[in-house]
Amino acid sequence: MKVSREQMAENRLRILDAASRLFREKGFDAVTVAEVMKAAGLTHGGFYGHFESKDDLVAQAITRALETRAGTTLDLDAYIASYLSPAHRDNPGGGCPTAGLAAQTRHQSEAARAAMTEGFRGQLERMTAALPDGDDIERRRNAIATLSAMVGAVILSRAIDDPELADEVLEATRARIEASVGKGAISNMPAVGRS
């Protein structure tokens, strides 16, 4: 039975979305192609009709995850509170791809690293444009520091086995960002990596 081009495109997106979620939950190396295809509701045999290799899948899943989270706007205060929350920390599969995949991406292919780089550039550009105060250089530096603190706090909070300390990491980071950016100073900004 021949599959239409539209169905092929839909299947490809299902594979990419399933792969992205599984990679964020378990890590790149712990997820098999067969597991991704099963999670997408497809047979293992169809994988190579969409991707050259697992490395190709990894790179394209990173791109897809970062693209699908771009473009929506959120209240900055609510965004920071949501990002630096136990709910986000405890849901890596549905959370920020940068926080979920960045540390592991350095061990992946050049294509995967390029996808993470481009995704981060997009996040950085959106946050820089949204910050209200300072010249372009100052806003960019503030955006880099804010993104780095947010991503780092989530990564650390996920790695810590003491729930109180893990929560404290999130709370302290949120307080520091709010103090530097100004709580309530920004009404809207683009989402940067989290739906």
Which whole number is the average pLDDT over 123-149?
Answer: 86
Asked if residue 76 lies in contact with residue 194, where contact means CB atoms within 8 angstroms, the answer is: no
Which whole number is the average pLDDT over 58-67?
Answer: 93
Q: Mean pLDDT in the chain?
A: 86
Asked if residue 155 lies in contact with residue 92, where contact means CB atoms within 8 angstroms, the answer is: no
Q: List pLDDT tens digits, range 115-132.
A: 999 999 988 888 887 777
pTM attached to this predicted model: 0.82
| pLDDT at residue 74, as a whole number | 43
Q: List pLDDT tens digits, range 43-56.
A: 888 898 899 999 99
pLDDT grade for 72, boundaries at 50, 70 and 90: low
Q: Which CATH architecture has domain 72-190?
A: Orthogonal Bundle (1.10)
* CA 98 – CA 77 distance, rounded (Å): 20
| pLDDT at residue 189, as a whole number | 37
Cα angle: 145, vertex 151, 154; to 5 degrees: 135
Q: Which CATH architecture has domain 5-66?
A: Orthogonal Bundle (1.10)
- The answer to whether residue 194 scores a pLDDT higher than 70 is no
| Portions of the chain given CATH number 1.10.357.10 | 72-190
Residue 160: strand pairing partners: none
pLDDT grade for 190, boundaries at 50, 70 and 90: very low
Among 81, 149, 65, residue whose Cα is nearest residue 115: 65
